[in-house]
Amino acid sequence: MKSHTLALSLDLIARAHPTPVPDDPTALALQPDYVLEQGLDRMLAARAEPALPLWVFGYGSLIWQPEFAVAEQRVATLRGYHRRFCLLQRRFRGSPRRPGLVLALDRGGSCRGVAFRIEGSDARSVLMPVWRREMRGSGYEGRWVLVSTAAGPVPALTFVANRSSDRYTGRLSDAATAEMIATGCGHLGPSASYLFHTVAACAELGIHDRHLWRLQALVAECLREAASPQG
């Protein structure tokens, strides 16, 4: 990492969440593949310039765990949206008893992330794994956006908050957000690990999001307090 030091660490997170959480398939209804396939077909049909290279804009876990082969990546800026922990996780990185939070793009401001150019000529088959991952829980909406890069603007697919979803929290305070991230844990691991990997990946790329950095410090403080004898 460059120029910044994380207050949050994987060791601190592991000490706070030492026990695996079993999966609860009833905690979140997932869309079946045939519905997801129809949605992706509609998304691709709405693409303004299908002859251009296909790009995906990542701002959270896609930065450090993409679901596709990458031909090229560029740090990019999206205007009109900002990243925010505003989607509840009652499964995967949260549970009904310990819900966590994950990032989405919400209206207003701007967001620095990564534009990935996708390898492969069959857009549908290449995109289906990431479309399934992001869309099956009904927390996101696919959106075509224009992002700015050092080499010029590119149109890209991204995933914004579905404000009509019961997972959408709206704007929580930093303290409330940090508390949910610190305590949230599901069968894929703690919500805090998701935050750690996102902040670390952004730092490696020179992306400094003040909101993310404040949250990781608050989450680390919450975890340390919980682990203390008085916690």
pLDDT given at position 13? 96
The structure tokens 């959106």 sit at: 143
User: What's the pLDDT tens digit per position in 164-221?
Assistant: 999 999 999 999 999 999 999 999 999 999 999 999 999 999 999 999 999 999 999 9
| Annotated catalytic residue 134 | yes
Q: Is the pLDDT of residue 2 over 70?
A: no
Count Cβ neighbours within 10 Å for each residue of 181-208 and write b for 16 or more, e otherwise: bbbbbbbbbbbbbbbbbbbbbbbebebe
% of the chain beyond a pLDDT of 70:
97
Distance CA(16)–CA(3), nearest Å, equals: 27
Tell me, yes or no, whether 231 lies in a domain.
Answer: no
pLDDT of residue 102: 97
Q: Is residue 4 part of a domain?
A: no
Tokens of 160: 């914004």
Task: Answer whether residue 148 is part of any domain.
Answer: yes
- Would residue 1 count as lying in a domain? no
Residues 184/99, Cβ–Cβ less than 8 Å:
yes
Residue 122: its pLDDT value, please? 87
**Host domain of residue 98:** 10-223
pLDDT computed for residue 194 by the predictor:
97
Whether 2 maps to a domain, the answer reads no
What CATH number is associated with residue 145?
A: 3.10.490.10
Can you read off the two tokens belonging to residue 59? Answer: 């701002």
Inside any domain, residue 5? no
Is residue 116 one of the residues assigned to a domain? yes
Q: Does residue 98 surpass a pLDDT of 50?
A: yes
Count of the separate structural domains present in the chain: 1
Tens of pLDDT, residue by residue over 53-95, are 999 999 999 999 998 889 999 999 999 999 999 999 999 999 9
Provide mean pLDDT across the span 15-21.
93
Q: Taking each helix axis as running N to C, give the angle between helix 123-135 and helix 33-45, from 0 to 180 degrees, rounded to the nearest 10.
A: 120
pLDDT of 50 > 90? The answer is no
* Percent of the chain surpassing pLDDT 90: 88
Q: How high is the mean pLDDT of the chain?
A: 93
Q: Beta strands 185-186 and 154-161: pairing type? A: unpaired
Q: What is the pLDDT of residue 231?
A: 47
Residues 6+ apart with CB under 8 A from 142: 39, 40, 43, 131, 134, 135, 157, 158, 159
Among 134, 141, 221, 225, the active-site one is 134
**For residue 121, what pLDDT band results from cuts at 50, 70 and 90?**
confident
Inside any domain, residue 67:
yes
Phi-psi region of 6 (alpha: psi -120 to 50; beta: other; left: phi over 0): beta
